[in-house]
């Protein structure tokens, strides 16, 4: 019966399913998702599941507040405002996103819960809503390489008529130990 439901859903356009909102949380339906948690605490054989998980460098910036200089001294730099933003953003990102994601990946690897794990960090995110930031925005933050790249190649949106457009970000990438 559940196969028929999925087959029926696949026939619908995605726009009909989301009604202007996007899916944000997983829903335990008892068939495909049977638990509100992914138990990573016990060792079992690989589940046959690959995990792709990661963060964006300044994901916590919108949720950050000014850190205590006595606990988190600012690095010596001529731009104190930028140093403060970088420190608070990194603290918030680590506390809200990196720690839980990295712990999830590590627990899954330690207990052999995933077949393969791909863990990533996007290096830069502008949080402007438009992936083509204005030149002044980039200049003010010293993002010269990004400014040159956006001048060279604007990111055009996908559309029904034009089809899906993929922009490869942060290339060449690099592999780091988390």
Same domain, 6 and 70: yes
**Residue 49's pLDDT is what?**
76
Same domain, 25 and 112: yes
**Residue 52 in this model has a pLDDT that exceeds 60:** yes
Same domain, 11 and 44: yes
Q: Which domain holds residue 143?
A: 130-178
**Residue 173 in this model has a pLDDT that exceeds 50:** no
**Residue 142 in this model has a pLDDT that exceeds 70:** yes
**Residue 62's pLDDT is what?**
81
Same domain, 51 and 138: no
Same domain, 121 and 134: no
- pLDDT band for position 125 (50/70/90)? low
Same domain, 43 and 74: yes
Q: What is the pTM of this model?
A: 0.55
Whose tokens are 């996103």? That residue is 97
Same domain, 66 and 115: yes
Same domain, 27 and 111: yes
Q: What does the buried/exposed string (b/e) look like for 65-79 if buried means 16 or more CB atoms within 10 Å of the residue's CB?
A: eebeeeeeeeeeeee
Same domain, 146 and 120: no
What span, in angstroms and rounded, lies between the C-alpha atoms of 113 and 124? 30
The per-residue pLDDT of the chain, averaged, comes to 75
Same domain, 13 and 32: yes
Same domain, 61 and 121: yes
Cα 39 vs. chain centroid, distance in angstroms? 22
Q: List all residues 6 or more positions away from 36 whose beta carbon is below 8 Å from its beta carbon.
A: 28
Domain count, the chain: 2
């Amino acid at each position: 019966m559940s196969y028929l439901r999925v087959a029926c859903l696949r026939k619908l356009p995605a726009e009909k399913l989301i009604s202007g909102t996007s899916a944000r949380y997983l829903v335990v339906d008892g068939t495909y998702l049977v638990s509100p948690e992914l138990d990573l605490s016990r060792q079992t054989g690989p589940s046959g599941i690959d995990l792709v998980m990661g963060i964006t460098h300044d994901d916590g910036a919108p949720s950050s507040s000014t850190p205590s200089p006595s606990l988190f001294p600012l690095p010596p730099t001529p731009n104190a405002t930028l140093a403060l933003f970088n420190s608070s953003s990194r603290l918030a990102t680590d506390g809200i996103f990196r720690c839980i994601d990295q712990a999830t990946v590590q627990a899954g690897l330690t207990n052999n819960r995933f077949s393969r794990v791909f863990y990533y960090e996007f290096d830069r995110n502008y949080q402007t809503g438009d992936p083509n930031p204005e030149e002044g925005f980039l200049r003010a933050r010293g993002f010269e390489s990004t400014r040159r790249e956006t001048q060279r190649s604007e990111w055009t949106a996908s559309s029904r008529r034009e089809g899906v457009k993929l922009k490869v970000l942060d290339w060449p990438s690099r592999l780091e130990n988390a």
